Amino acid sequence: MCANHTPSTLRELPPPRALEGFRRRVFKEGERLYRDLPWRRVRDPYAVLVSEVMLQQTQVSRVDGRWQRWMERFPEPAVLADATSAEVLSEWQGLGYNRRALALHAAARELARLERFPREEAELLALPGVGKATAAGVRAFAFDLPGVYLETNVRTVFLHEFFPEAERVGDRALVPLVEATCPPEGAPEGRGPRSWYFALLDLGAELKRVLPNPSRRSATARRQSPFEGSRRQKRAELVRRLLEAREAGLGGLTLEDAALALARFEEAHGRSAPPPGLAEELLAELAREGFCRERDGLYRA
């Protein structure tokens, strides 16, 4: 696939003929590698937004099934907006990064207030938790509108094609290429931004499978700290306990309940007891972020 336009860096755009050849190759490979994922069968912008948020830092295999269940329970922004935070977090359990669920909940409330789904980038970026990649994904996959959709699989293709040997390639170098190759609004069916980015995503996934992952040469690449034993894992465990207490009809968790639950969790995983005060610190943190609330010494989801 790689055309090796330059040895390691790209100081100016390749000529139009080279870019058009790249576009043809990507579309051809995209047809061969196409993944018929359930969220690709819809153009509802809310459904696309849910898929984009779920897929952030999460494998496709984990989202398939959970996206369908979410859409059955919260089929439109108004339904999600009317749900409680506890209901939203309960449905999100197992997807990781619980903050994404609360951001999606807040975005649904704003969408319900607007009574329409925005198409323009600036309006999408104004929604809670929506960044440039998510906004570009909604524009491309729901409205077939052009934009710079840069996520790990897309980066993989551009790094492999245009920067075959370079290290620490920044998005600043990739954005002009992505802009120049994305088809314009009104392109023929099957050759517009929606199909283009599907092709890039699927080709990028294949390149990561058969090659040393080119996306690791991106300046944005970060080696994620281990989840096991981390502060994030302890927070997630407390959220799970808060949701369990709610579903069981209990008033909530006391600090003593939370500290004991955390200690047992660590013991069950072969780790030493958490330091004194950690449960209180984590609960206060979760309360500030909207995961729970405290009243009369009880923490409730």
Which pLDDT does position 5 carry in this prediction?
A: 45
Which pLDDT does position 251 carry in this prediction?
A: 85
Query: In the predicted model, what is the mean pLDDT of residues 52-67?
Result: 96
pTM of the model: 0.89
Query: In the predicted model, what is the mean pLDDT of residues 209-235?
Result: 84
Which pLDDT does position 193 carry in this prediction?
A: 98
Which residue has better confidence, 201 or 8?
201
The tens digit of pLDDT for each residue in 233-291 reads: 999 999 999 999 999 998 899 999 999 999 999 999 999 999 999 999 999 999 999 99
CA torsion 265-271-273-274 (nearest 10°) is -80
Task: Scan for tokens 């951001």, then name that residue.
Answer: 103
Which pLDDT does position 1 carry in this prediction?
A: 52
Which pLDDT does position 212 carry in this prediction?
A: 84
- Is the pLDDT assigned to residue 111 strictly greater than 70? yes
The tens digit of pLDDT for each residue in 7-45 reads: 445 668 999 999 999 999 999 999 999 999 999 999 999
176-190, 208-222, 264-278, range with the lowest pLDDT:
208-222
- Is the pLDDT assigned to residue 6 strictly greater than 60? no
Query: In the predicted model, what is the mean pLDDT of residues 106-131?
Result: 96
Query: In the predicted model, what is the mean pLDDT of residues 120-145?
Result: 97
State the amino acid at position 50 in one-letter form: V
Catalytic residues, by residue number, are 52
Query: In the predicted model, what is the mean pLDDT of residues 197-205?
Result: 98
Burial of residue 262, with CB atoms counted within 10 A of its CB: 0-12 exposed, 13-18 middle, 19 or more buried: buried
When the pLDDT of each residue in the chain is averaged and rounded to a whole number, the result is 93
Which pLDDT does position 105 carry in this prediction?
A: 98
- Is the pLDDT assigned to residue 58 strictly greater than 80? yes
Which pLDDT does position 224 carry in this prediction?
A: 64
Question: Could you tell me which residues come within 8 angstroms of residue 18 by beta carbon, excluding any fewer than 6 positions away?
Answer: 3, 5
Contact 212, 152 (CB under 8 A): no
